[in-house]
Amino acid sequence: MTATIIDGNALAAELRADVRRRAAALTARGVRPGLAVVLVGEDPASQVYVGKKVQACQDAGLHSVLERYGAELTEAALLDRIAALNADPAIHGILVQLPLPKHIDAQKVIAAIDPAKDVDGFHVASAGALLTGTPGFWSCTPYGCMKLIERTGIDLAGKHAVVIGRSNNVGKPMALMLLQKNATVTICHSATANLKHHTLQADVIVAAVGRQNTVTADMVKPGAVVIDIGMNRNAAGKLCGDVDFAGVREVAGWITPVPGGVGPMTVTMLLVNTLEAAERAAA
């Protein structure tokens, strides 16, 4: 079997077009959805990420503000800025780009964001909302993965999903989202004994490790859905995921490529969350 590729670029384009339509409708009613992106320091990767987020907002007709501060910004000054953005009616979503400089407590900063504007879904209130199945913002990367799985048309109810990775921002929320769709969920991590034993039973595998070739063809049940969140560089310096794409695509039923799978969905779900924050504020 050769797997069907789940095209993240195509799905992201569809969802962004929908965001653009809904944002135009809301703007016509006098509410232009607005995202504030806060960057502290000079981390080169962070600069690229925030640039992409701001550009995506502009392309979708959202208002966006990029606040850049030097690495010497104090925690107190950053908390003041968050308070001002919380109170700003033109801003519906606030994103603080991580990592922050070491002298700033990232948890404290995220906790200061109004949960109604927490479009990254990192606030404990957002995590709690996901845990309890109440309204809140879902963390963008796992939310994007849910959309990719939805694209296969497969009903998750009763399916066995194996998530590899248990980080607070990716693995754990991913597992909770799958659970909410009635999958039976196993979470694997670095202390899991015999990873292959678990993945071979999976109808859906989501890899969120950050290590090339964590999932190989012999670890995948024929026909399974394989979602690759990993972003790594191979020996040639080329971007690759956690899954051995060439091998696994011969066994799986559905697979996401890297690049062009989960990556484009993350920024897209940030736009979706910002739009929804504005729609809720305008309701």
Which residues lie near ligand NAP (CB under 6 A)?
141, 164-167, 169-171, 188-192, 195, 208-211, 229-232, 262-263, 266
Comparison of 33 and 264: residue with beta carbon closer to ligand NAP: 264
Comparison of 49 and 254: residue with beta carbon closer to ligand NAP: 49
Please state at what angle helix 8-28 crosses helix 262-282, rounded to 10 degrees: 20
Q: Give residue 81's identity as a one-letter amino acid code.
A: R
Q: Distance of CA 101 to CAs 7, 37, 45, 49, 261, Å?
A: 35, 16, 14, 16, 30
Query: Is the separation of the CB atoms in 200 and 136 below 8 Å?
Result: no
Q: Is 120 a catalytic residue?
A: yes
Shortest reach from residue 219's CB to ligand NAP, in Å? 11
Comparison of 91 and 267: residue with beta carbon closer to ligand NAP: 267
Q: Which of 117, 118, 120, 221 is catalytic?
A: 120
Distance CA 151, CA 262 (A): 13
Comparison of 2 and 168: residue with beta carbon closer to ligand NAP: 168
Shortest reach from residue 8's CB to ligand NAP, in Å? 9
Shortest reach from residue 25's CB to ligand NAP, in Å? 28
- Please report the beta strands in 85-243, taking only residues with DSSP state E, as ranges in sequence order: 93-96, 160-164, 184-188, 204-207, 225-228, 232-233, 239-240
Comparison of 109 and 209: residue with beta carbon closer to ligand NAP: 209
Q: Distance of CA 190 to CAs 164, 210, 214, Å?
A: 9, 11, 11
| Best CA proximity match to 248, nearest among 278, 204, 218, 206 | 218
Query: Is the separation of the CB atoms in 25 and 282 below 8 Å?
Result: no
DSSP secondary structure code for residue 215 in this structure? B
Shortest reach from residue 56's CB to ligand NAP, in Å? 13
Q: Is 55 a catalytic residue?
A: no
Shortest reach from residue 98's CB to ligand NAP, in Å? 10
* Residues noted as catalytic: 53, 97, 120
